[in-house]
Amino acid sequence: MPRITVTVDGIQYEEDVEPRLLLVHLLRERLGKTGTPVGCDTSNCGACTVLLDGKSAKSCSVLAVQADGCDVVTIEGLGANGSLHPMQQAFHEEHALQCGYCTPGMVMAAIDLLRQDPDPSEETIRQGLEGNLCRCTGYCNIVRAVRRGAQEMGQAVSRP
């Protein structure tokens, strides 16, 4: 069984894994990171989105062995010392979640979106989140939340 080294939410793990083990199952079943859920079996829904070396990736479509040597950030690794990441706070403020099941993946995808475009238009946000399905919100408040998150993060960066 291959042995991999992977950093998840700032902690380094060494794990023996079957080559076929999916990254999302490594996170959920082996490391107890159940904040990242599974919503489909065809890579459409994006509920399992994490940051893999800084870029958003659907963790149901990555083998754990492919993450060897990588840095993974999940929803549980955002925010420091109990405080919320601005994007998490924005989702709360704008009522951008209901059942909460798409939320972890949606927040991670939104953070990656802002990496590419720190001040996105509504159209850019909708395109950027096209890989993440939500059944509850009708997306409207998610778009608002990402705009708000972008503003907050912009402020955070511009502050001395």
Partner 1 sequence: MHRKEDARFIRGRGTYTDDVRLPGMLYGAILRSPHAHARIVSVDTSAAEAHPKVRAVITGQTLAGLNLAWMPTLSNDIQAVLATDKVRFQGQEVAFVVAEDPYSARDALELIDVDYEPLDAVIDARKALAPGAPVIRDDLEGRTGNHIFDWEAGDRARTDAVFERAEVTVAQDMLYPRVHPAPLETCGAVADFDKVTGKLTVWCPTQAPHAHRTLYAMVAGLPEHKIRVISPDIGGGFGGKVGIYPGYVCAIVGSIVTGKPVKWMEDRSENLMSTAFARDYHMRGEIAATRDGRIQGIRVKVLADHGAFNGTAQPTKFPAGFFHVFSGSYDIETAHCEVTGVYTNKAPGGVAYACSFRVTEAVYLVERMVDVLAAELGMDPAELRLRNLLKPEQFPYTSPTGWEYDSGDYPKALRLAMDMAGYDKLRAEQADKRARGELMGIGVSFFTEAVGAGPRKHMDILGLGMADGAELRVHPTGKAVLRVSCQSQGQGHETTFAQIVGQELGIPADDVEVVHGDTDQTPFGLGTYGSRSTPVSGAATAIVARKVRDRAKIVAAAMLEASPDDLEWADGRWSVVGDPSAGKSLAEIALAAHSNLELPEGVEGHLDAVTVYNPPNLTYPFGAYICVVDVDPGTGQVKVRRFVAVDDCGVRINPMIVEGQIHGGLADGVGMALMQVMAFDEDGNHLGASFMDYLLPTSMECPSWELGETVTPSPTHPIGAKGVGESATVGSPAAVVNAVVDALAPYGVRHADMPLTPANVWRVVNGNPFRTDLAVP
User: Whole-number minimum distance, CB 118 to partner 1, in Å?
Assistant: 19
Residues linked to residue 72 through DSSP beta bridges, in sequence order:
8, 52
Longest dimension (CA), the chain: 49
Report how far apart, in Å, the C-alpha atoms of 40 and of each of 16, 66, 101, 104, 141 are.
Answer: 26, 21, 12, 15, 23
What the block records as the tokens of 43 is 């890579």
Residues linked to residue 8 through DSSP beta bridges, in sequence order:
11, 72
What part of residues 35-54 is at the interface with partner 1 (CB under 8 A)?
35-42, 44-45, 47
Return the range that interacts with partner 1 (CB under 8 A); candidates 18-26, 51-59, 64-72, 147-155.
18-26
Give the residue with the Cβ less far from partner 1, 4 or 21.
21
Choice from 26, 31, 142, 150 touching partner 1 (CB under 8 A): 142
Task: Examine residue 126 and tell whether it contacts partner 1 (CB under 8 A).
Answer: yes
User: Whole-number minimum distance, CB 150 to partner 1, in Å?
Assistant: 15
Give the residue with the Cβ less far from partner 1, 71 or 93.
93
If one counts every other C-beta atom within 10 angstroms of the C-beta of residue 127, the result is 12
Residues ≥6 apart with Cβ < 8 Å to 125: 110, 113, 143, 146, 147
Choice from 62, 72, 141, 153 touching partner 1 (CB under 8 A): 141
If one counts every other C-beta atom within 10 angstroms of the C-beta of residue 69, the result is 10
Taking the C-alpha atoms of residue 132 and residue 136, their distance in angstroms, rounded to an integer, is: 12
What part of residues 66-125 is at the interface with partner 1 (CB under 8 A)?
74-76, 78-79, 84, 88, 91-93, 95, 97-104, 107, 122, 125
Interface contacts to partner 1, rule CB under 8 A? 18, 20-21, 25, 28-29, 32-42, 44-45, 47, 74-76, 78-79, 84, 88, 91-93, 95, 97-104, 107, 122, 125-127, 129-143
